[in-house]
Chains A and B, each alone.
Chain A
Amino acid sequence: MDYIRHKVPPVREDRLAACGAYGGTCCELSEDAKKGCLYTAKRSFSQTQGCQLNLSLAMISTLRDAVMVIHSPIGCGGNLIQNAGIGKVFQQLRQKSAAGLRWINTNLSEFDVISGGEAKLRQAVLKAEREFQPEAILVFNSCVPALIGDDVDGILDQLQSQVNARIVPIHCEGFKTKIQATAYDSVYHGLIRNLVGLDADKKPQPERTAEEEAAYRERIAKTINLLNVGSMSRLDEEELVRLLRALGLHVRILPSYAHPDDFSHAHEAALNVSICATHDDYFAEHLERLYGIPYVLRTIPIGIANTNKWLRDIAAFFGIEEEAERLIAAETAELNEALAPFRAQFKGKTAFIAGGEVRILTTGELLHDLGMEILGLRGYHFDKYGALLLDEYLEDVPGSEDRVFNVGAGQVFEQANLLSKIKPDLFVGHIGVNGTAAKQGYPIFPLFGQSNVYFGYKGAYEVGSRVSRILRNHSFNRNLERHTRLPYRDSWYEQDPFTYIDNPGATAVRSN
C-alpha cells in the first residue's frame, strides 16, 4: 500500500471493501465476508451515526501542544464542546503542563459558500499561531469546503512559510464515506505526510561519538511504537508498558495524547505494535513501506488469550519467545487464581456485545473465558481484519456459529429489536448505544472507558471485577425500563430486526 504521495487517502469502502450493514449469524458472516462483496449493503431506514470528521477529532484532538482548526460551518466538531474540560485532564495524565483541547472553527456562512472559504481558513490558522504558538496546527476539512472547492492544501502550503507550527491537513470530509473508521486513515495520512520523520528538517541531529551511536542504535533496535487509541485509558497504557518493559523493550506511545515531537522520531523504532487493526493498518503498512519498520497488527490485548497472542507476536519478532512464555506463565497463573470468584459468579450468565469489530470479538472471548455465554455481537463495520478475528473467535468460543452478528454504526433500532428477542443478562456497549439498552432494563458494562484498565492481565481482572459489581444491582436501568419507553412502535419489535438492510452480497438476509 502506498497512498502517501496522494493528497487524500482512499475511503475504506474502496480500500478494504468494508461493510456497514449486515444481519446474520457469525458463521454466515464469516462465509459472506470471504466473498468480499458486503460493502454494497445499505439501509432503507437508517438512524444517524458519526462521520469521519468527528472520529478524526476523537482520535487526534487529544494531541498535546496543538490547535485544531475545523474548516466548516459552525456545527462540525460539535462534540468537542463536551470534551473541552476532560480533554485537559487526560492530557495532563501524560504531561502535567499540557494546555488541553483548543480549537478554532472557521464558521463558514452562506456568503462563504458563494465566494469561497479560503480567506477564513487563512484567518483561522494565523489566529491559532498568534494566540497559542502551538507545535502543530491540525486542519480538518469538512463537507462544505470540499463541495465549494476550497484549495485547502494550496493555502496551507503557503501558510506553512508564515508560521512556526507544523501544519497538518486532514482530509476527513464526512459525506465521502459511511465507514467512520476511514477517519483513522485520514488522520494518519496527514501525520505521516507532515510530522513523521521531519525532525531533521527542523532541528540538527545530535552529534554522537561512535560509542554513543552504537548505544543509540541498540536502543532503537529494542524500541517499539505502541499505537494507542483514543478509547483507551492511561491505565491501559501503563499495563501494556509494564508487560513490554518486562520483556526488555523500550516503548514510545503514539498517536493519541502524544506530542507532535513524538512523531518526528516515529521512524526510529524496530517495530510498530498495534492494538487494533481497524485503527492502525494504514499507518503500520505505510511505515513499513517508507521506513522499513515491520509491524504487529493481529489482535488487541483484551482477555488472557488475546493478550497472550499479542505478546507472543511481539516476542517472536525480537526472538525472545522464552522470556515471553515465562512472563505469560507467571502472569496467567496469578490472574487465574484472582479470577476464580468471577468465574463462579458468571457461570451460566449470558451477554450481548456491541461496538468496534476488534473490541467486541476479543471482549466476547474474555467474557466467555469468565464463564459467560455470548448470545450475539454488533459491529460498527466489518472488514478483512474483523474476518480474521472472527475466525479465531469461532475457534476460541465454541458454539458461536449460530449466534447473531449484526453490523451497523449506531442503528440502535436494530439493537433494540434484537435485545427484545435475545434478552441477555448483560449488555456490553460502545458509547452512544448504551442509553437505549438501559431503557430496556439491562445491566450495562461500557465497552471502553478512559478511567479504567481494560487491556492486558490487569485489565482482564478489572473487567471481571466491574462486571461483577454491575451485575449486583442494576435497579437504575430497571426503573428506566418500567417508566420510560424507546421511540419505536410496538409493531417494530414483531418484525425481523434486519428488515431494512438491503444486502445483495449476503446469503444470510436472503434466507431470513
Chain B
Amino acid sequence: MSTYTGSSGGQVFTGRVIERPRYVCALGGAIGTIQSLPRAISILHSSSGCGGNLAGALSGASGYNGGNYCGGHALPSSNVSERDIVFGGEGRLSEQIENTLKVMDGDLYIVVTGCMVEMIGDDVHAVAKRFKGGELPVVAAETVSFKGNSYYGYDIVLETLFKDYVERAPVQDPSTVNLWGIVPMQDVFWKGNLEALKKLLDKLGFRVNTFFGQGETLDNLKHSARSSLNIVVSDCYGIAPARQFEKIHGVPFITVPLPIGDHGTARFLRQVGGALGVASEVIEALIAEEQAVYYSYLERLADVYNDLDFQRYATVVGDANYAQALTRFLADDIGWLPELVIITDVLNGEQEAKVIASFGDYESGLQPEIVYETDASAIEGHINRHWPAPGEGKYGNGFTPGYIVGSAMDRDTAERLKVPLLPVTYPISNRVVLHRAYAGYAGGLTLAEDLLSLVVAHR
C-alpha cells in the first residue's frame, strides 16, 4: 500500500480504494472553501466537467448548501479539452482570467486547478502573476486532485490566502483572534458552528475573524495578521496553513477540538481562554453562566428521559472533528454509551495520535473503541463485532437499544440494524441545513433536540 505525504506537509494521502467516499478531491474542497468566502470567485483551470462533477457534492450532499454567491454552474472554468492537453492550457487560462474579470463581479479571484492541467505542466502561478498589480486581486492555488481530498483543498486555499492575500501587520492587536479548522461543506453546519464559537469568544472579550462565517468580510481576512492568536478548531484540518501563517506573519496558533455541549465547550473555553491569558475566574464565570442556561433546558427532560429510558448505545461515524465532539457529548452530557467510534478520514500517524488523544479524559469514564474505516459498507460489520448479535437462544442483547450518529451514507446500515440514525456528519442529503449549529452550549441543546426527537418520533 502506498502512502504519500501531501506537499502541504499536513495531509497524508494514502492510496486505498474507497467504497462510497465521504469527501471529494482537493479541487472540490477548494471550490467549497472559496465559494464560502464573501464575494470571492473561483476560476477553475480544469477539464470542463470538474465543476459540474463536484456541484452535487458541494450542495445536495451538504444539506442543500447551494452555490452561495458564486458556485455550482456559475463557476468560471477554462474547460480545457484534448487540444489544450496537447498544446498546453496557459493561453486559454490567461484569456479566461481576463474575461472573468470583465464579467464576474467579485473582490477576490482565485485560480484553482484540476488534474489535467497539472499533468500537462501548466504554470498557473506564472499566468496569475500577469494580473498582479491590476485593480482586482488574482491569486492561484494548485489544488491538484490526485494529491489530496477536500480537506487538502481547504488547506491549500488557506495557505495561498495567507501567503498571497493577507497583508503583513507591524503590530498585533491582543483582543483580536482568528479561528478556523471548520471546513465549509465538509462540516454541513459550518456557518452556524463558526458563528456559535465566535459568540462564545466574544463573551470572553475577543474580536474573532472566522473568514467564512456570517458577517465576515474580505477586509477582515486581509488584515488578519493583526490578530494575536490563530485558533484551529481541529486536530487535523487547517494546521498546515496555521504553521504557514506563523512563519510568514509571526502569529502563533493553538489547536483545539470542536466542542459540542457542556463538557466539550467548557474544555474549549478553558483551553482557548488559557492560551489568551484570560483570568481563570473570568473563564469559570462564563462557563457557570452558560451551564445555568444549558441545564435549565435539559432539566425539562428529567421525567421523560427516565420514564421512557432514553439511554442508548451509540455508534458515532464521521470525520475527525465531529467524531470526538459527538462522542464526548453523548457520553458526558447525555449519559449515553457511544462505545464505538468510526473515523472515516484518511489520517497520518501524527494526526491519528492527536485524534486518539482527543477521546480521552471522559468524566463518565467511557473508553470508546476507535476504528479507522473509509468504506461505508464496512460499518455494519464493526457494529456487529462490537455488539455481537444475540444467538439462537432466549437471551442476548446486541446493539439494543442502539443509535447511530453518522451521515446519510449510513442509512442502509441503520435500516438493517433497525436503529435510528441522525445524520450530523457529511454527507447529509436527507436534511435541509441553513443556520443550524451544533457547536457550543446552544448547539448541544439543538443536538439533544434532534437526537431525542427521533426517539419519540413514533409517538
Check B145 against A436 for contact (C-beta < 8 Å).
Answer: no
Nearest A residue to B15 via CB reads: A109
Interface residue B8 (Cβ < 8 Å from any Cβ of A): no
Interface residue B82 (Cβ < 8 Å from any Cβ of A): yes
Check B85 against A432 for contact (C-beta < 8 Å).
Answer: no
CB 8 Å contact bits of A432-449 with B (1 = contact, 0 = none): 110110000000000000
Interface residue A426 (Cβ < 8 Å from any Cβ of B): no
Distance to closest chain A CB from B51 (angstroms): 3
Check A177 against B99 for contact (C-beta < 8 Å).
Answer: no
Interface residue B457 (Cβ < 8 Å from any Cβ of A): no
Check A78 against B2 for contact (C-beta < 8 Å).
Answer: no
Check B18 against A104 for contact (C-beta < 8 Å).
Answer: yes
Interface residue A299 (Cβ < 8 Å from any Cβ of B): no
CB 8 Å contact bits of B158-202 with A (1 = contact, 0 = none): 000000000000000000000000000000000000000000000
CB neighbors of B among A42-82 (8 A):
43-54, 73-82
Q: How far is the CA of A489 from the CA of B78 in the complex (A)?
A: 19
CB neighbors of A among B13-27 (8 A):
13-27
Interface residue B444 (Cβ < 8 Å from any Cβ of A): no
Check A75 against B17 for contact (C-beta < 8 Å).
Answer: no
Chain A residues, CB < 8 A from B79? 43, 46, 48-49, 178
Chain A residues, CB < 8 A from B60? 79, 81-83
Which of B25, B75, B106 meets A48, CB within 8 Å? B75
Q: How far is the CA of A79 from the CA of B242 in the complex (A)?
A: 31
Most buried by B among A81, A85, A124: A81
CB neighbors of B among A68-116 (8 A):
73-86, 88, 100, 102-113
Chain B residues, CB < 8 A from A334? none
Check B377 against A112 for contact (C-beta < 8 Å).
Answer: no
CB neighbors of A among B88-142 (8 A):
95-96, 99-100, 102-106, 115-116, 119
Q: How far is the CA of A388 from the CA of B23 in the complex (A)?
A: 43
Chain B residues, CB < 8 A from A148? 119
Distance to closest chain B CB from A150 (angstroms): 13
Check A75 against B81 for contact (C-beta < 8 Å).
Answer: no
Check B16 against A107 for contact (C-beta < 8 Å).
Answer: yes
Q: How far is the CA of A289 from the CA of B140 in the complex (A)?
A: 51
> Which of B41-49, B259-267, B434-442 participates in binding chain A?
B41-49
Interface residue B244 (Cβ < 8 Å from any Cβ of A): no
Check A75 against B53 for contact (C-beta < 8 Å).
Answer: yes
Interface residue B52 (Cβ < 8 Å from any Cβ of A): yes
Chain A residues, CB < 8 A from B17? 104-107, 120, 123-124, 127
Q: How far is the CA of A438 from the CA of B80 in the complex (A)?
A: 29
Check B100 against A45 for contact (C-beta < 8 Å).
Answer: yes
Chain A residues, CB < 8 A from B13? 109-110
Check B4 against A74 for contact (C-beta < 8 Å).
Answer: no
Interface residue A131 (Cβ < 8 Å from any Cβ of B): yes
Check A50 against B53 for contact (C-beta < 8 Å).
Answer: yes
Check B18 against A105 for contact (C-beta < 8 Å).
Answer: yes
Check A487 against B50 for contact (C-beta < 8 Å).
Answer: no
Q: How far is the CA of A124 from the CA of B58 in the complex (A)?
A: 25
Check A46 against B77 for contact (C-beta < 8 Å).
Answer: yes
Chain B residues, CB < 8 A from A54? 49, 52-53
Chain B residues, CB < 8 A from A82? 56-57, 59-61, 427, 429
Q: How far is the CA of A74 from the CA of B79 in the complex (A)?
A: 19
Q: Interface residue count for A (Cβ, 8 Å)?
A: 74
CB 8 Å contact bits of A478-490 with B (1 = contact, 0 = none): 0000000111111
Interface residue B146 (Cβ < 8 Å from any Cβ of A): yes
Chain B residues, CB < 8 A from A143? 47, 115-116
Q: How far is the CA of A147 from the CA of B95 in the complex (A)?
A: 25
Q: How far is the CA of A268 from the CA of B278 in the complex (A)?
A: 79
Check A435 against B67 for contact (C-beta < 8 Å).
Answer: yes
Chain B residues, CB < 8 A from A50? 48-49, 52-53
Interface residue B408 (Cβ < 8 Å from any Cβ of A): yes
Chain A residues, CB < 8 A from B47? 51, 143, 174-175
Check B23 against A45 for contact (C-beta < 8 Å).
Answer: no
Interface residue B382 (Cβ < 8 Å from any Cβ of A): no
Most buried by B among A103, A110, A486: A110
Interface residue A492 (Cβ < 8 Å from any Cβ of B): yes
Check B105 against A500 for contact (C-beta < 8 Å).
Answer: no
Chain A residues, CB < 8 A from B409? 81, 84
Check A51 against B27 for contact (C-beta < 8 Å).
Answer: no
Chain A residues, CB < 8 A from B74? 47, 412-413, 436, 486-487
Chain B residues, CB < 8 A from A433? 73
Check B146 against A112 for contact (C-beta < 8 Å).
Answer: yes
Check B95 against A44 for contact (C-beta < 8 Å).
Answer: yes
CB neighbors of B among A439-497 (8 A):
485-492
Check B54 against A75 for contact (C-beta < 8 Å).
Answer: yes
* With A144-B115, A487-B74: A180-B49 Cβ-Cβ less than 8 Å: yes
CB neighbors of B among A400-454 (8 A):
409-413, 432-433, 435-436
Chain B residues, CB < 8 A from A75? 24-28, 50, 53-54, 57, 145, 149
* With A85-B429, A100-B412, A110-B13: A175-B82 Cβ-Cβ less than 8 Å: yes
Chain B residues, CB < 8 A from A109? 2, 4, 13-15, 146-147
Q: How far is the CA of A488 from the CA of B106 in the complex (A)?
A: 8
Nearest A residue to B346 via CB reads: A107
Q: How far is the CA of A461 from the CA of B51 in the complex (A)?
A: 36
Check B56 against A177 for contact (C-beta < 8 Å).
Answer: no
Check B73 against A45 for contact (C-beta < 8 Å).
Answer: no
Interface residue B70 (Cβ < 8 Å from any Cβ of A): yes
Which of B46, B82, B430 meets A85, CB within 8 Å? B430
Interface residue B55 (Cβ < 8 Å from any Cβ of A): yes
Q: How far is the CA of A370 from the CA of B191 in the complex (A)?
A: 45
Check A49 against B73 for contact (C-beta < 8 Å).
Answer: yes
Chain A residues, CB < 8 A from B116? 143-144, 147, 175
Chain B residues, CB < 8 A from A489? 102-105
* With A110-B13, A120-B15: A47-B73 Cβ-Cβ less than 8 Å: yes
Per CB-CB distance, the 5 closest pairs between chain A and chain B, nearest first, are A51-B49, A48-B51, A75-B25, A82-B60, A50-B52
25 contacts between A and B (CB under 8 A): A46-B76, A48-B46, A51-B53, A74-B23, A74-B149, A75-B28, A76-B25, A78-B25, A78-B61, A81-B61, A84-B20, A88-B412, A102-B19, A105-B19, A109-B15, A112-B15, A147-B85, A174-B50, A178-B79, A410-B73, A432-B55, A432-B73, A487-B74, A488-B104, A489-B104
Residues of A within 8 A of B (CB): 43-54, 73-86, 88, 100, 102-113, 120, 123-124, 127, 131-132, 143-144, 147-148, 174-178, 180, 409-413, 432-433, 435-436, 485-492, 500
Q: Beyond the given A123-B17, A148-B119, could you list 7 further A-B residue pairs with CB under 8 A, ordered by the A residue number?
A: A44-B96, A82-B60, A88-B412, A103-B19, A111-B15, A147-B119, A490-B105
Residues of B within 8 A of A (CB): 2, 4, 13-28, 41, 44, 46-61, 66-67, 69-70, 72-82, 85, 95-96, 99-100, 102-106, 115-116, 119, 144-147, 149, 375, 377, 408-409, 411-412, 427, 429-430
